[in-house]
Chains A and B, each alone.
Chain A
Amino acid sequence: MFFGRYTQGQFVMIEVVAVDGNNVAFSPATAAFFKVYDSGGSTLFSSLMVPLDKSGATGLFSFPLRLDASYPVGQYNVSLMYDSFLQAGGFEVVGGGDQDGAVISQHHYERPQSANLVQRLDSDQRILGRNPGV
């Protein structure tokens, strides 16, 4: 499964449906688990995955993987495991973007000495700027 092309700072939604040998979806004994490898085969990240839409879907798991500085431009492989089963996929990071992510909220406040802008990024960082120009 190709998860798509992204820039740094974006989120890759890693998803898998747990299916058995007959491609029938089932709920595994433990949560699905995924690993991300770089182009050299080294493991960059691994995590259990969260069940998604438990009332409407069987065996569907997901995990939002944020592409921080650990993910330079290149291709990445993904293994997805549940019980004794295995699936595989990959995604690509292309140029552009910012490892700290996009601005998701901001607040403007005035002080006698300056106008200020506080921005929150989806990496949970805060940026303070003064006297923003147009």
Chain B
Amino acid sequence: MQPGLFLGYVGLTQNLIAAIPVQDSTGTPKDPPIAPNYRIYNGENVMSNGTGTLAKLDVQNVTAASNATPIRITTGSDHNLQTGNRVIIVDVLGNTAANGEFTITRISATEFDLDGSVGSGTYDSGGVIHVAGLYSITHNIVGGDGFEAGKVYDLLVTFTISAVVYSQVHKFQVV
């Protein structure tokens, strides 16, 4: 599991923008059932308006899911994924066996196979692909919430996977 990160520098009135990896105890990237939460501390207290929820990063749409073994996913544009990457697919209608967590095998820029999958029907519509465990934070840093230039703040990220609560602490500096 990746240890705490230094997320970089952010100016007052700017957005803190950072990618946060979410993994279980084996280091496997996971999408928790409930999106990870975050809290920002100044070393003593939670900052005013300093809480929120992480958003999924790297999300794209499915345009086809073959009724085959394994299921071949087609995307409308370059999916930019490689063999071995883990993805979470939801909301596929028709070929619902394409929904779930998979390791992929890249076929082309717009196709990849879901390892170990078996098609369950003809693809109807829908489907969203997310790179497993890849989240991001966007938080507006304003002086009115108590942020001060020159200070380093802690970002606590918490999430639950299979009834186990995980926590990460990252840092950033306001400039």
Query: Which A residues lie at the B interface, using CB under 8 A?
Result: 1-2, 5, 19-23, 28-30, 33, 35, 37, 39, 41, 43, 46, 48, 75, 77-79, 81-92
Contact = CB atoms under 8 A, between A and B. Distances in A.
B45 interface: no
Given A2-B5, A92-B8, A39 B17 contact: yes
A31 B145 CA distance: 43
A86 B23 contact: yes
B84 A84 contact: yes
B85 A81 contact: yes
Interface of B: 1-3, 5-10, 15, 17-21, 23, 25-29, 55, 57-59, 80, 82-86, 103, 131-134, 136, 138
B19 A78 contact: yes
A85 B136 contact: no
Given A21-B28, A84-B29, A75 B134 contact: no
Contacts of B7: 2, 90
B20 A88 contact: yes
A63 B3 CA distance: 22
A2 B172 CA distance: 10
A5 to B, nearest CB: 7
B114 to A, nearest CB: 13
Q: Is the interface of A mostly helix, strand, loop or mixed?
A: strand
B84 A79 contact: no
A2 to B, nearest CB: 4
B27 A30 contact: no
A2 B27 contact: no
A33 B85 CA distance: 9
Nearest to B136: A77
Contact of B27 (A22, A79, A91): A22
Nearest to B173: A2
16 contacts: A5-B8, A21-B27, A37-B19, A41-B57, A41-B58, A41-B59, A75-B15, A77-B18, A77-B19, A79-B58, A79-B134, A81-B82, A85-B28, A86-B131, A88-B19, A88-B20
B58 A82 contact: no
A75 B17 contact: yes
B1 A21 contact: yes
B19 A30 contact: no
Contacts of B131: 79, 81, 86
Given A2-B6, A41-B57, A88 B21 contact: yes
